[in-house]
Amino acid sequence: MIDTPTHRRWDPVVKLTHWAVALAVLANAVITEAGSANHVWVGYALAAILALRLLWGMIGPAEARFAAFPPSPGRAMAHIRDISAGRKTEHRSHNPLGALMVYAIWGTLLVIIATGVAMAGLPPGQGAEHKGAPTTISAAPIPAEAGEDEAREAGEREGEEGEEGPLGAVHEAAVNLLYALILLHIGGVVFESRRQKRNLALAMLPGGG
């Protein structure tokens, strides 16, 4: 927030939680099968990492604290004016526009986690339905001759009508919103790095900053 001549520094907890969150999102987006035991395990790990980062926002070093990057549309507008006027400003933590993005990403992750946990119930191993088997396919009777696609369709239909329906829909919508936010986030990092003529991503790497 406050202009300082020094470059931004992130402590190891911020760096570690950043890349662990990114990895978990990537894993659940492209590797694990939606709703499978692995998906849910990665989901719980994501929840734990996010909880650690949010705790760090209250007890961590100055740059990591929420107080260093309050959500402020007014300051975000001022930052946009700085950009359009070509004014270069240094911020000790996330710049005010970046701060809005950070809260948007965290908020969206919380919705994804809340709906995911609500659908999954107890952690895998404690709930009977998660003993390794994917849960996306329902127990609805599927004709023996049904092909794989028909079986999946039947599972999805049941999911839409069953109790996972609205939760699943919110989960999926929030996931799509998250993808859009991540693209904007990476775009913002590239844009601001060019503007400041230094690679902001380096500050998120071990030893960087």
Binding-site ranges for ligand HEM (CB under 6 A): 8, 14, 17-18, 21-22, 25-26, 28-29, 34-35, 39-40, 43-44, 46-47, 53, 94, 98, 102, 105-106, 112-113, 116-117, 119-120, 135-136, 159, 164, 168, 171-172, 175, 178, 182, 185-186, 189, 200-201, 204
Q: Nearer Cβ to ligand HEM, position 132 or 145?
A: 132
Question: Shortest gap between Cβ of 80 and ligand HEM (angstroms)?
Answer: 16
Q: How far is the CB of 122 from ligand HEM (least distance, A)?
A: 10
Which of 9, 8, 3, 1 is closest to 74 using CA atoms?
Answer: 1
Kindly tell me which of 1 and 21 has the beta carbon lying closer to ligand HEM: 21
* Lookup: tokens for 171: 């989960």
Q: How far is the CB of 74 from ligand HEM (least distance, A)?
A: 18
User: What is the number of alpha carbons within 13 Å of residue 11 lying toward its C-beta?
Assistant: 11
Shortest reach from residue 156's CB to ligand HEM, in Å:
8
Tell me 179's DSSP state: H
Position of minimal CB gap to ligand HEM: 116
31's tokens: 């590797």
Q: Which is nearer to ligand HEM, 145 or 207 (CB)?
A: 207
β-bridge mates for residue 124, sequence order: 127
- Residue 72 makes CB contacts below 8 A (sequence gap 6+) with 96, 99
Classify 127 as helix, strand or coil: strand
Q: Between 1 and 145, name the residue whose CB sits nearer to ligand HEM.
A: 1
Q: Rounded CA gap, 53 and 118, in Å?
A: 22
**Which CB atom, from 1 or from 28, has the smaller least distance to ligand HEM?**
28
Q: Residues of 113-126 as b/e, b for ≥16 C-beta within 10 angstroms?
A: bebbbebbeeebee
Residue 7 DSSP class: P
Least Å distance, CB 5 to ligand HEM, is 16
What is the smallest separation between the CB atom of 154 and ligand HEM, expressed in angstroms?
Answer: 13
